[in-house]
Chains A and B, each alone.
Chain A
Amino acid sequence: MSDGGILIFAYDGSFDGFLSAVFDAFAMKTLPADFAVFDDMEPSLLKIHYVETDFEHAKRVQLGIAKKLGGTVLNMVQKAFLFDGEGKENAIMRFIWKGFKEGRSVGSRIGDEDVNRVFKMCTAVYNEAERFRQFTRFSDSKGALVAVIHPNHFVLPLIKHFFCARIKNEHFMIFDAEHSAALIHTPERTAIIPVESLEIPSDTEDRFYSGLWKNYYRHIAIASRYNPKCRMTHMPKRFWKYLPEVEEELESGFMQKLSRGTAAEIAEELKKEMSLPEKNERAALEQ
C-alpha cells in the first residue's frame, strides 16, 4: 500500500473503529497522513483507506498497548480519544506508533512533542470533566432528574461514575447536546446512548428548590469581599447557563455594570441586586 501518495484513513468515529485503524496502520506499516470520519467526509482526490471496524482487531490493539506500553499509556489513549478537536486521531496514532517503536517510556516522556500533544488532550478532557462534575445541575421533573450540558469534549464516560455513585437510586439523565448522546441511569441500569435531540420539560416545575438555592446563594456573598475576577476564574462564564444561582446576573448583564466603579459603589450595587429578585421569586413560590 505504501506506494507513494498521501493516504487518508476513513473510519466510523468509534473507539473500536479507531483501534482497528491502528491495527491496519501497523499491518500496512504505514502512518496515515490524516483521518476522516465516514459521516462528515468530503469528496477528495487523496487516496483513502476505508477502515472496517473489527472488534477482534480492536481488542488485540488494546491488549498490545496494555501489555507492551503499560496501563498509563492505554489510559492516555482512552482519555485522549474523548477529546473533540482537529487532529485528534493523528496525534494518538503517532503517540502509539512512537510507543511501539521506542518502548513504554513514552508514558512518562510528557516533555516530548508527540507525547505532549496527547498529554495536553488528556488534561483538557480531564479538566472539562471536572467542570461538569461541579456545574451540572439537575432539575426534578416528576421525580426524574434531568440535566443538559454542552461540553467541548465527550466527557460523559468520565463523569458517569461520579453521578451514578451519588444518586444511584434515582432515575436521571444527562443529555450532551453537543455530541448527541445521553447518560441514562435507573437503579437497575446505566448506559450512554446516542440521542439526537430531546424535548426538555421547562424548569418551572422545579421552581421551589431552585428558588431556595438562589436565595441561599444570594445570602452567602460577602459584599465587602466582592471579587468578580476570582469568581470568573473558578466558574467561567460558559458554565453559567447551567447554574440557577447566577441566572439573573447572566440576564441583567450585572457583571458588566459592575466592572467599573469604586469598591463602595460596587458593594452598594451588590446589596441592591441581592435583594431585588427576591420578591419575584417569592411570588413564584407562593403560587
Chain B
Amino acid sequence: MDIYEKLAILAEAAKYDASCSSSGSGRSSSEGAIGAALPSGCCHSFTADGRCVSLLKVLMSNACVYNCKYCISRSTNDFPRATFTPRELADLTIEFYRRNYIEGLFLSSAVVGTPDWTMERMIEALRILREEYGFAGYIHAKAIPGADPILTHRLGLLADRVSVNIELPSEKSLVSLAPDKTKHNILEPMGLIRTGIEENREDLVKYRHTPKFVPAGQSTQMIVGASPETDYHILHLTESLYKKYGLKRVYYSAYIPLQEDALLPSLDTRPPLLREHRLYQADWLLRFYGFEASEIIDPKKPMLHPEVDPKCSWAVNHLDDFPVEVNTADYEMLLRVPGIGVTGAKRIIRARRSQSLDFDMLKRLGIVLKRAKFFITCKGKTLQRIPETPEMMIWSILSPNRMGGFTDYGMEQLSLFEPVLTGEDVVECLTGEF
C-alpha cells in the first residue's frame, strides 16, 4: 500500500476528532532546526464543513483490536486498514510543514496489538520528528488508555499537548457502548499527565534545562448525542474536568451515525450540530467569561436553549443586573453583556481610559449594538427603550427588524421556553431534537 492510500484511510479515520487547536505552547525556533509554535496557534485551512485545519490529523493505524460500538474503526467492521511507519509519518509532517500547510501533527491511533505496542510506535514517530529533524512545531498526541505510565510520560515529553478522550460522558454509556474501555482506564492517564505537568512546572522554576512536559496542557473530547446525557450533565462534567484535572480544553463532537447498532441512534439521525454549537458557547463562558456551570444551566431545564445563546439566556433571566453603564462597569460585567465579547470589552476598557464613551464611539470601536443596546447605557443614557420582562426582551432580541416596537401582537405565543424559529441558519442546523 502506498503513502497516498494510507493517508486517505488514516485521515478519514481521524477526522471525527474535534480537536484542532495549535495554541498554548510557544516553542521558539531556537529549540530546533525547523519549526516554531506560536502561543496563539494558526489555522491553515478550513474543511468543506467549516472546521479549522491546523494540524495534520491522522491515525498511526486504524487496525483496532477494540470494538467500540460508535467507532468506525471497530474491529468487527469490514473496512480497509492501514498503518504508517514512524518514518513515513515524520517525513510527511516535515514536508507539509515546510510548505506552510500545517502547524504540526496531531497523532492518534487505534489500538494495534496492545496499548503499549501502539504507544511505542507513536513515540518513535515523535522521536524522529523532535530528535532527528529537530522539529519545534506543534505536536498533539493521544495517550492510549491502558498503556504503561512510563510510556505516557515519555509521550508527554515529546508532545506539546496530550489528550485522552472521554468519548462518552458517563460510565453507564461507556459500559454499554465502549465495552473495552473503562472510566478508570481513561482517568488514569489524565491524572498522570496532570501530575506530570504540575511537577514539571516546579522543576522549570528550579532547573534551567528541564525538558518541557506537555507545555500546552491536556484536552479531551466527548461525543454528544450518542448517549442520553443532558447538557446539564455534560457542562458540570466539563467544569469539573477544568477544575480537577486542569484541562485546557474540552471538545464536543456531535454524534454522526456511522454504525448500525440497536444501542445507538439510527443511521438517518442528523448530527446535533446546533446542540454542539450551544455547548461550545457555554464552554467559552466557563473558560473566558468567568461563568460557573450552575449559572448557565439549571437542573430543572437540563438542555441549553436552542434559540438563544447561553450568555443571552443568562442575561435575560438576570435583568435586575442590567443595564450596565459601559463607562464604569468592570471588565467581568462587560463580558456578561450579550453582544460584547473579549475583544469588545478590552477595547472599551482601553478607550474609556481617557475619555467617556457614547454610542457613536462604541460603534466606531466595532461593538455590535444589535443586542448589546438592550443591556447597556452610555453616560446614563440608553439607546432605546429597554424591555422590562424576559419575554419582551427575547422578543426584541430575536426580531431585530422590529426593534423596540414590541407590540402586544403575538406576544402570548412567545416565551423563553417555547422557542419560535427565526433565521434560516437555525433552521438549517436544527435536528428535530428540540
CB of A134 within 8 A of CB of B42, answer yes
CB of B99 within 8 A of CB of A138, answer yes
User: Quick one: given A109-B355, A111-B361, A113-B364, are A235 and B48 in contact (CB under 8 Å)?
Assistant: no
CB of A109 within 8 A of CB of B354, answer yes
CB of B46 within 8 A of CB of A166, answer no
User: Quick one: given A138-B99, A224-B270, A234-B43, are A168 and B49 in contact (CB under 8 Å)?
Assistant: no
Note all chain B residues with C-beta closer than 8 A to A243. 45
Note all chain B residues with C-beta closer than 8 A to A225. 49-51, 254, 256, 271, 273
Note all chain A residues with C-beta closer than 8 A to B92. 212
CB of B101 within 8 A of CB of A137, answer yes
Q: Is A84 on the interface with B (CB-CB < 8 A)?
A: no
| Nearest Cβ on chain A to B185's Cβ, whole angstroms | 27
CB of B98 within 8 A of CB of A170, answer yes
| Nearest Cβ on chain B to A200's Cβ, whole angstroms | 15
Q: Which of A169, A210, A212, A221 contacts B49 (CB 8 A)?
A: A221
CB of B29 within 8 A of CB of A168, answer yes
Q: Which of chain A's residues has its CB closest to B56's CB?
A: A216
CB of A231 within 8 A of CB of B100, answer no
Q: Which of B11, B43, B96, B365 contacts A220 (CB 8 A)?
A: B11
Q: How many contacting A-B pairs (Cβ < 8 A)? A: 158
Per-position 1/0 for B362-396, Cβ under 8 A of A: 10110000000000000000000000000000000
Q: A229–B261 Cα gap in the complex (Å)?
A: 33
Q: Is B53 on the interface with A (CB-CB < 8 A)?
A: yes
Q: Which of B4, B38, B97, B362 contacts A285 (CB 8 A)?
A: B4
| Nearest Cβ on chain B to A189's Cβ, whole angstroms | 16
| Nearest Cβ on chain B to A234's Cβ, whole angstroms | 5
CB contact list, A59-116 vs B, under 8 A: 105, 108-113, 116
CB contact list, B1-53 vs A, under 8 A: 3-4, 7-8, 11-12, 14-16, 28-29, 33-36, 38, 42-53
Q: Which of chain B's residues has its CB closest to A166's CB?
A: B36
CB contact list, B243-288 vs A, under 8 A: 254, 256, 270-271, 273
Task: For chain B, give the interface size range.
Answer: 35 or more
**Interface stretch of the complex, out of B109-117, B194-202, B203-211, B345-353:** B345-353
Note all chain A residues with C-beta closer than 8 A to B355. 105, 109, 111-112
Q: Is B137 on the interface with A (CB-CB < 8 A)?
A: yes
Q: A140–B95 Cα gap in the complex (Å)?
A: 10
Note all chain A residues with C-beta closer than 8 A to B4. 211-212, 215, 282, 285
Q: Is A245 on the interface with B (CB-CB < 8 A)?
A: yes
User: Quick one: given A112-B355, A225-B256, are A231 and B47 in contact (CB under 8 Å)?
Assistant: yes
Q: Is B315 on the interface with A (CB-CB < 8 A)?
A: no
CB of A137 within 8 A of CB of B99, answer yes
Q: Is A197 on the interface with B (CB-CB < 8 A)?
A: no
Q: A218–B38 Cα gap in the complex (Å)?
A: 27
CB of A222 within 8 A of CB of B34, answer no
CB of B48 within 8 A of CB of A221, answer yes
Q: Which of B29, B352, B357 contacts A166 (CB 8 A)?
A: B29
Q: Which of A105, A134, A140 contacts B354 (CB 8 A)?
A: A105
Some 30 contacts from A to B, beta carbons below 8 A apart, are A109-B351, A109-B354, A110-B350, A111-B365, A116-B364, A134-B44, A137-B99, A138-B98, A138-B99, A162-B38, A166-B29, A166-B35, A166-B36, A168-B34, A212-B96, A216-B8, A219-B11, A220-B57, A221-B15, A221-B47, A222-B47, A222-B51, A225-B49, A226-B49, A229-B50, A231-B46, A231-B47, A231-B49, A234-B50, A245-B45
| Apart from the given pairs A217-B47, A220-B53, A221-B49, 5 other A-B contacts in the complex at a CB distance below 8 Å | A110-B365, A134-B43, A163-B100, A168-B29, A282-B4
Which B residues fall within an 8 A CB radius of A? 3-4, 7-8, 11-12, 14-16, 28-29, 33-36, 38, 42-53, 56-57, 92, 95-101, 137, 254, 256, 270-271, 273, 347, 350-355, 357, 361-362, 364-365, 425, 428
Top 5 nearest A-B pairs (CB, nearest first) are A230-B50, A111-B361, A105-B354, A225-B49, A165-B29
